[in-house]
Amino acid sequence: MAEYNKAKIIKYSRVFNKMTQEKLAEEICEPETVNRYETGILDPSQFNYYLMMQRLGEHVEIYKIPGDFISFELVNLRKKIKKLVEEGRYDDVRKENCKYKELMDDSVDNVQFVERIDAITDCNNGLISRDECIDKLVKTLRLSYSDFSFDNLNKGRLYSETELLVINSLIIELWQNDNMDLAIDLCEKMEECFDNSVIKNDTREREKLLLNYSNMLGLNGRYEDSIEVCKKGIMYINENKRCNYLYNFYFNIGWNLEQLVENTAKLSEERDKMLQSAMMYYWISYKLCNILPECKDNLPTIKKSLDDLMRRQKKRTE
C-alpha cells in the first residue's frame, strides 16, 4: 500500500490539532527533527510516524491508498488468487498469477505478491523442495524488510499485508518442513508485534497467523496454550466483526480439550466436564461451518469428530 506525502500529513494534522512541534516531539524525537520531517528534509521512520499520528489522534490507515495497483482488475485478481491458494487449487493459482504479472507494475509490493505465489505453487507442485521454498520466501520478504532475521524480529515495524502473507507462508513451510519449533517461535514474535500499540492490527492476516499458531501448539502437545490462542483469535475476529476462520478456532478448542482428557491425568468428574465442553465446541464449529459457504468441505471432518466423541461418551456411561 502506498501513502500520501508524510511531510504534509504530519504538518496538516499538527496544525489542525493546534499542537506545537515541541509538544508533538515529546518522548518521540527532537523538535528539530519534527521540523525536518515537515519540510521533507528527513523521512520519518514508520515507528516515529505511527507514534506521532497516535498522539495527534489520527489513524494512519486513513491516509493509505492502493497506489501499487494500476486497476481494479488487479485488486480483484489478488482476492481471487488468495482464495484459490486457501482452497489449494494451485493449477488455477498459477494461471491467475500469470495474468497478474502482465498487469502489474514493478513496485516491491507487487513483486513480493507474485514471488510468494510462485514459491508456494512450485513447492506444492513438487518443482522445488521445501528448503528451496523457505529460502525463496525469505528472499522475497527481504525485498522490503532487508534486515529480516528469525532471531531478531523488529517489533516496532509496520508490516504490510503482503509481508504478512509472506510471513504466514514462511510459517507454514517451516512447519511442514519439520521445523515446528522455529515456526512457533516466529508466531510468538509476530504476536508481540501485533500486541505493540503502534502496530496496525486489524488485518485479516492476523487471523491466519493465530490459527497456524494454535494448530502447531496443539500438535506440539501444548493443549492449554493452544486453547488460549484460540480464545484470543475468537475475540479478535469478533472485535473486527468478521467470521472467517471462526469455526476453525472453535474446532481447535474442542480438539485440544479432547486431547487434554486423553493425554493428561484428570479426575473423572473433570474429564466428563471437559469432554462435554469439547462436544459443545465441536457442535458450534459444525454450525458455523454449515453457514459459511467457503467452509463446506470441512463439514465431514467436524461431524466425524463430534460423532466419535459422542459415541465414546455414550459407551462410558453405559
Average pLDDT taken over every residue of the chain: 86
In a domain, 251, yes or no: no
* 254, three cell numbers: 474442542
Under 8 Å between Cβ of 137 and 170: yes
Mean pLDDT of 281-305: 89
Looking at 137, 167, 201, the residue that finishes a domain is 201
Instruction: Please give the DSSP secondary-structure letter assigned to residue 64.
Output: E
pTM of the complete model:
0.75
Could you read off the pLDDT of 227-278 as tens digits, one per residue? Answer: 999 999 999 888 877 787 899 999 999 999 999 998 887 677 888 899 999 9
* 122, three cell numbers: 512450485
Beta-carbon-side half-sphere exposure of residue 232 (alpha carbons within 13 Å): 18
249 vs 67, higher pLDDT? 249
Let me know whether 14 and 125 are in one domain: no
Looking at 186, 201, 216, the residue that finishes a domain is 201
Could you read off the pLDDT of 116-175 as tens digits, one per residue? Answer: 999 999 999 999 999 999 999 999 999 988 889 998 887 767 777 888 999 999 999 999
Let me know whether 56 and 35 are in one domain: yes
* 218, three cell numbers: 496443539
Which pLDDT belongs to residue 197? Answer: 53
Strand-strand pairing, 2-3 and 64-65 = antiparallel
Its domain, for residue 43, covers 2-63
Let me know whether 119 and 185 are in one domain: yes
Let me know whether 75 and 166 are in one domain: yes
Let me know whether 92 and 188 are in one domain: yes
Which pLDDT belongs to residue 67? Answer: 43
Q: CA-CA distance, 44 to 51, in Å (whole number)?
A: 11
Determine which of 15-19, 108-112, 185-189 has the lowest per-residue pLDDT on average. Answer: 15-19
- Total structural domains within the chain: 2
Q: 127: how many CB neighbours lie within 10 A of its CB?
A: 11
pLDDT at 284 over 60: yes
In a domain, 111, yes or no: yes
Q: 42: how many CB neighbours lie within 10 A of its CB?
A: 16
Let me know whether 71 and 187 are in one domain: yes
